[in-house]
Every structure is written in C-alpha cells, then in structure tokens.
Amino acid sequence: MVVMNGLELLDDETLARVLSAALSTGAEFAEIFASDWRGTGVGLDDGRIEQLSTGRNRGAGIRVIAGETTGFAHTADLSEAGLIAAARVAADAARQGGGGTRVISLDERAHRVVSPIDIDPSTIGKAAKVDLLRRVDEAARSAGGAITQVSAGYSDGRTHIVIANSDGVLARDERIRTLLRVSAVANGDTGMQTGFDSLGHTMGFELFDKVSVEEVARTAANRALTKLKARPAPSGSMPVVIKAGSGGVLFHEACGHGLEADLVSKGASVYKGKVGELVASPLVTLVDDGTMTHEWGAIAFDDEGHPSQYNVLIENGVLTDYMWDYLRARKEGRPQSGNGRRQSYKDLPMVRMTNTYVLNGSTEPDDIIKDTKSGVYVAHLGGGSVNTATGDFVFGMTEAYLIENGEITEPLREGNLIGNGPQVLRDIDLLGNDFAMGNPGTCGKDGQGVPVGDGQPTLRVKSLTIGGTAA
C-alpha cells in the first residue's frame, strides 16, 4: 500500500496482480475502480441543528468482460486477498472458456489537477460549518416577516480514486466538493410558498471566501416572497425568455441525455443517426466540458481512467458527435470523450454528462426582453421529466414573470414549461452574451446519481407551451 495525502490507495503491483487474477479464466478485459470517500454533513431546520455527521465509504469494484458477458463484483475489503477474491467472482461470472495467465503492465497517467483546492474542508471544524448555516437562517428570515421556515444544509466530500485496467490504463484522482443548499417558506394570502437556492463547486472551504452565503439565503427567501404576490401562470403557446444560468437543466435533460452514446446505440435517442445534420438553430453550440475548473461536474479523469475533455456536441446547430464511455469507444474505434462515470465503486460505469452548456451568443439580454412583445420570462427552472427517445419534456417554473410590451412585469406561479428538446433547439431565435452556470445538480440515470453542472446565456425560444392554472 502507498499513502497519498494521508489516505491509503492501492499500489501498482497489487493492481497488476488483481487484474491478472481477473483475466485468469480467459476474459479479454478487466478493470479495477477503487475509491475512498470521507465527508461531513450538517443540517439545520427551523433554527435547530438536526444533523451533524461524518462518514467514510471505501471499497473497490471489479469489472471483467468476456465476449458479450460482463461480470462485476465489489468489495469493501481492499486487502490484496479481498480484491483477488472479488476478481475471481467477477471472472467466474464473465467466463466463457479459455484460461491461462496474462501479465499486466500499467502505464500511469500523468498527474492532473482540474480544480485546485486551497482549503481542505476536513481541516475546518464543525463549529464553523454550523455557523455558516446559522448565518443562512438569519439572512433568509431578514428578507421579510412572511418567511416562516428556513431549512439549510451543508456538505463536503473528499474522494481518492484509483482506476486500472488490463489495457494498461492507470489513473489516480482526488475530488473535493463543497455544497450549500437553502429552502425558505413564506406564508401569505396565496398560502405557503417555497423558494430554493444552492451553491456547489469542486472546491474546498475557500468557496465561502468567494461568495456570500447571505446572498444565497436571501435569493431563496425572495423567491418564496415573490410567489406570495404572483398570479397564476397563463396557458398556451408563446415566446419564452430563459434567464442566463437558469435553463441549463432543460438542455441537460431534454437534449444532453439524447447525446449519450449508450442511449443512441439502444435506439433510445431522437438523435440517433443524425451526426452531421442540422439539429438546432445555427445560433446554438452545445458543449460538455469536464475540464471546467471548479464547476460541480469537473473531474480530472472520468471513472474509467481517461482524462476529462472539452467536447463539442453541437456546433452552429450541426450535431458533431456523441458522448462516449471507454468500452463503447474502444469497440467502435472512437476517440475517448471522458464521459464514463459511476456513482460509487458498487456501480458499473455508463455514459454520463459532466458540465453541459450552451455557448454565448452576441445579443444583449435587455434587447432580448425589449424584442419580446408578450411572453414569459423564466428566472429559475425546477425539476421535470423527459422522454429521451422523443425529447418531450415537462419542467416546473419555480420563478417566472410575464413579459408585456417588451418589459418584465408580474410574477407568476403554478406553471410548467412543456415542449420537445429538439424543437426547442431549433426554435432558439435570440441568444444572449451573458453566459452563466446554474445550480449544482445530481443527474440520475439507471438508478445512479453523479454530480453535474449546466448553464447557458439568456435566450429566447420563439414558442413554448406554458401549462398554467389561470382561467
């Protein structure tokens, strides 16, 4: 064993011996993914600290492939004996005859840092983390007397990862993420209304030297307060302007998933067979970027040991490529895109996004509003659902306003955006120059969640359906 920054990781010789054991029944590919996570969580509800915890989770997953069969086993025992036992279980599951021994020569990837860390959160006492939440509670309540409840959470995590495979890949990575989330409830004539905001980066505790937790709290509270005086959203098709940073989740869900190569190969994507075709407005360039320093989805290496990349998916409206995992790219002779990700050592990797966003256009955001005679301005999108095979989606509008005569006017509540991802891409007719990333997110796929980021400049979709409750 070797020690890396105080945490034990597997040495090269052990990795090679375990991979050899995994291949001993005749498989053509074997992989080890080992991780060691430590983290802290603090939760505050209604002025009281309800949670204060630390945890550790470590183990390894071993994948063995023989023909079209994949064997997978995971273990919390990182001793060589424990790893070899898991390797044999995975090999037996994948076995299709053959045998013998294969010697593995590992070629370690050069050390790579995408998101440098100044202050390791594990060096900060719990009292300082509790104090952050107390400041959040005070700031949210100071926004107005109608705020009746505040909930806030802080979490940090530090993960050491080592990945090795029988193709000779060896990569080590360290990931530190820090997150703050705030929810506020306001009570008034329209009942109880909720506002939410969050802040998260691949960064250490220095995050709170760079941003104001009070501002995050006030944003959440003001969203709740605004809804108290909001009118029910209208219904029908109309122009929709989406504020910078607030609509990235739409592109992630309604477009990004359809550009994941595994869904494409299964025929579960509307973008299958459309590389080289115009699939969006010529204004639109869509990127997935794992190298985006300090953003929530930033990684030095993906969870198959390949460097993260800046991948252009759609360029000036033309579909240029999909996102790939290692084995799919290997099989098809494609270059790596660094998009093989997994939730933990207990999970198999799959094609996943990192930070997915639309690049800047050239129009001033104020001019986009002025050019819109009537419509809806979406300042913040909530959760939703999407059918990747068709691109159809529904997203909640958690902060939205009417646009009347080229001006933002009354706030709206109880409204959804309803549309089709590919159609939205084609219907973007104005694109701002004010690019911003949105809130940190967790992308769910096949039961696994991974950290992702998304963003875009202010933009206008010339027609989207608003599902409102107004008579």
Q: Are 368 and 338 in contact (CB under 8 A)?
A: no
Residue type, 293: T
Q: Rounded to an integer, what distance in angstroms lies between the CA atom of residue 104 and that of residue 23?
A: 10
Q: How far is CA 255 from CA 270, 291, 373, 386, 423, in A?
A: 9, 20, 28, 9, 10
Task: Say what the pLDDT of residue 386 is.
Answer: 86
Task: Name the phi and psi angles at 367, rounded to 5.
Answer: -70, -30
Task: Say what the pLDDT of residue 4 is.
Answer: 40
Of 201, 228, 255, the last residue of a domain is 228
Of 207, 228, 249, the last residue of a domain is 228
Task: Say what the pLDDT of residue 3 is.
Answer: 36
Number of domains in the chain: 2
Q: Rounded to an integer, what distance in angstroms lies between the CA atom of residue 322 and that of residue 334?
A: 10
305: domain range? 231-467
Task: Say what the pLDDT of residue 102 is.
Answer: 52
Report the run of H or E that residue 81 belongs to, with start and end: helix 80-94
Long-range pairs for 204-209 at CB < 8 Å and ≥24 separation? 204/117, 204/118, 204/119, 204/120, 204/121, 204/156, 204/176, 204/178, 205/119, 205/120, 205/121, 205/123, 205/124, 205/128, 205/156, 205/178, 206/117, 206/118, 206/119, 207/178, 208/132
- Do 161 and 235 lie in one domain? The reply is no
- Do 158 and 19 lie in one domain? The reply is yes
- Do 412 and 270 lie in one domain? The reply is yes
Task: Say what the pLDDT of residue 8 is.
Answer: 52
With a CB cutoff of 8 Å and minimum separation 6, the contacts of 366 are: none
Task: Say what the pLDDT of residue 330 is.
Answer: 86
- Do 216 and 320 lie in one domain? The reply is no
Q: Are 197 and 223 in contact (CB under 8 A)?
A: yes
- Do 145 and 264 lie in one domain? The reply is no
pLDDT tens, 155-177?
A: 999 999 999 999 999 999 999 99
- Do 294 and 224 lie in one domain? The reply is no
Q: How many CA atoms lie within 13 A of 27 on its CB side?
A: 32
- Do 190 and 279 lie in one domain? The reply is no
Task: Say what the pLDDT of residue 153 is.
Answer: 98
Task: Say what the pLDDT of residue 7 is.
Answer: 38
- Do 144 and 238 lie in one domain? The reply is no
Task: Say what the pLDDT of residue 9 is.
Answer: 74
pLDDT under 50: residue ranges of the chain? 1-7, 97-101
Residue type, 280: A
Of 211, 228, 245, the last residue of a domain is 228
- Do 59 and 181 lie in one domain? The reply is yes
Q: Which token pair is 22? A: 């995994």
Of the chain, the percentage scoring pLDDT greater than 90 comes to: 85
- Do 445 and 316 lie in one domain? The reply is yes
- Do 22 and 145 lie in one domain? The reply is yes
- Do 324 and 277 lie in one domain? The reply is yes
Report the run of H or E that residue 162 belongs to, with start and end: strand 147-165
Task: Say what the pLDDT of residue 292 is.
Answer: 98
- What's the angle, vertex CA 468, arms to CA 463 and CA 471, rounded to 5? 115
Q: List the CATH number of the domain containing 145.
A: 3.30.2290.10
